Amino acid sequence: MAALFEVAPTAFTVVRIAGAIYLVYLGVQMIRNRNQDNPDAVVAGGGMTACKAFLNDLFTNLINPKMVTFTIAFLPQFINPAWARSGSSSRSRVRC
């Protein structure tokens, strides 16, 4: 996704605007429903496996424009192209 945003800055702007609209939507929903009991409230220590939590956080970071910007701007200076391997053996796989 970071490579897409580097090649197409318009896509980055669209994702940023969509994220801002979504945050406004969440805020409005919280204000509208502030006096109602929430049966879906998260209870500490309940219901989410470690794998599900990892995948949820991974997805959140992949669509977070700040994380994408950090990845594009900061990390490439520490990566040596000679370290790259070819083939599927260099790919990480998450098994849940």
Judge whether residue 24 has pLDDT over 90. yes
Left (φ > 0), alpha (ψ -120 to 50) or beta: where does 64 sit?
beta
Q: What is the pLDDT of residue 23?
A: 92
- Do 94 and 54 contact (CB within 8 A), yes or no? yes
pLDDT tens profile 30-70? 898 887 766 555 555 567 788 888 888 888 888 888 887 88
Lowest mean pLDDT among 8-17, 27-36, 66-75, 81-90: 81-90
Residue 71: per-residue pLDDT: 79
